[in-house]
Chain A
Amino acid sequence: MSTVITAILILFGLAVVFGIILGYASVRFRVEGNPIVEQIDALLPQTQCGQCGYPGCRPYAEAIANGDAINKCPPGGQSTIESLADLLDVEAIPLDAEHGEEKPKMIAFIREDECIGCTKCIQACPVDAILGAAKQMHTVITDECTGCDLCVEPCPVDCIDMIPVETTITNWKWPAPTESRNLIATDRGRGLQQEAH
């Protein structure tokens, strides 16, 4: 009889000890994770362009968190898809062409002598990157422009152009070394074939 009680007591004691240890560990080593939406939103390019079909990056982030496809963001392109795939632990899929193509980085440019000062583009700009007042010429603050091209459509005189960001010696990037052609040419070809399927 006493052995049974001893056994029960030992088991009980062990349960208490491990319970304390586990409880301590869960408090001490708690992972303070951002809510998933925040994490997704942080990966999106924040152009707020709406090409994904949602009114801005955060709504799309919420949609992704609720299971929407991760390949609807043309400004982010393949690299964003990859990092999203990484974050969500799903397979990286190619960009959905329905929502647009990955284009080089652009910024809006207003042909200022043609601008009539209608303020329509100012209202369209999601990041307040256009400066101007009614009947005054408008201009784009290039540093703030995200290249979403939302201002192009509303312009009644079509004086806004999207121009690719020019490469100068200050923003030039070292290219990746080109590997000798005969070493990986076949791999590259094969990769393209796979993508085509």
Chain B
Amino acid sequence: MSLIRMSSPHVYKSNTTSNVMRLVLIATLPGITALTVFFGWGTLIQILWAGVLALAFEATILKLRHRPPGLYLRDGSALVTALLLAVAIPPFAPWWVTAVGVFVAIVIAKQLYGGLGQNPFNPAMVAYALLLISFPVEMTRWTAPFALNGDGWPIASFVDTLGAIFGSAESLWYDSFTGATPLDELRHRGGLTTEEAWRQSQVLSVGIGAWYAVSAAWLMGGIFLLYRKIITWHAPLSMLLALMICAGMFYGFDPDNYASPFFHLGTGATMLAAFFIITDPVSSATSNRGRIIFGASIGILIFIIRTWGNYPDGVAFAVLLMNLAAPFIDLYSQPRSYGHTTANKGRGGKA
């Protein structure tokens, strides 16, 4: 009789990394749909383009590192990274911007650190930050929501969008379809008060609804992930709360110069970050307590960068800064174990 010997447990929950990644991909569907509806085909094209590039880069690097590409490609983590990057960059960004971004995300930020599970920074955010710094013009030219383009649904056609991304469209064409984001508008409002800027800017007074809708769609996806227990509430909730409290405090004291908390939650990448980016387990803090600290710090940093920083949205920088701090948070946020009166601190052993 040939029986096998192995360590317990002998049963496993059918729950694999690729399952987790698949669920994350599914959870992004509402957000992608909303982006497509309000901002045109650009997002979908970017996602497809980034996805193809990500798989290609990942496969190449795995080959170079003598790893079996099939096994690793199936875990879907490259696709998730590509998708998060693709929804973060402007829908009309030229193809090479996406290509550079995906290369940085997959090759530099992920594989050079040792692949899945080893990267200290969120790959999508590393790529986004790099693109934002290197190509500020391309990266801040966001598509105007269709509501600003007249009646009906006059977004750029699929072919036009394809042309805009891969070919070279006239700058006039761009002008008719692109504009600043609400955060941008508010950031560069000159000497106006928030109220005045709001009334003057089309993007804010008319187009804001599109942004709110997209945020709501991301929130839906996030709730789905929470429901499926893919993510825990700790980081998202603490981040949103921290952002809300900060914004609320300043708005309460000085509504003329600061945006409302609701505006902060509903625009920019806030919801995307809360449920899809800071919940990236690899680069975030480990324990529940740690994730609360991690999330809250990101919320505060986002508010600070948005309000006083040079860039209109600070999600990428906030996340990267806190990625940097995550190992340290881990050391001081260990849970209290059963039978211990206090939680351990520090790393223990020889430093």
Contact = CB atoms under 8 A, between A and B. Distances in A.
Nearest to B350: A86
Given A174-B7, A177-B7, A182 B71 contact: yes
Interface of A: 86, 174, 177, 182-183, 186
A188 B71 CA distance: 19
Contacts of A174: 7
Given A174-B7, A177-B7, A183 B350 contact: no
Interface residues of B, number: 7
Given A174-B7, A177-B7, A182 B68 contact: yes
A15 to B, nearest CB: 32
B67 A186 contact: yes
11 contacts: A86-B350, A174-B7, A177-B7, A182-B68, A182-B71, A183-B67, A183-B68, A183-B71, A186-B65, A186-B66, A186-B67
Contacts of B66: 186
Interface pairs A-B: 9 shortest CB-CB: A186-B66, A182-B68, A86-B350, A182-B71, A177-B7, A183-B67, A186-B67, A174-B7, A183-B68
A86 B67 CA distance: 31
Interface in B285-326: none
A183 B71 CA distance: 9
A interface, over-half SS: helix
A182 B71 CA distance: 10
B311 to A, nearest CB: 40
Nearest to B72: A183
Given A86-B350, A186-B65, 8 more contacts: A174-B7, A177-B7, A182-B68, A182-B71, A183-B67, A183-B68, A183-B71, A186-B67
Contacts of A177: 7
Interface of B, secondary structure class, is loop
A123 B67 CA distance: 57
Contacts, number: 11
A91 B197 CA distance: 63
A186 B66 CA distance: 7
B67 to A, nearest CB: 7
Nearest to B65: A186
Interface in B65-82: 65-68, 71
B351 to A, nearest CB: 11
A177 B8 CA distance: 12
A183 B66 CA distance: 9
A86 B66 CA distance: 31
Contacts of B67: 183, 186
Interface string B51-74: 000000000000001111001000
Nearest to B71: A182
B61 to A, nearest CB: 14
B347 to A, nearest CB: 15
Contacts of A183: 67-68, 71
Contacts of A86: 350
Contacts of B7: 174, 177
A182 B67 CA distance: 8
A186 B7 CA distance: 25
A50 B71 CA distance: 51
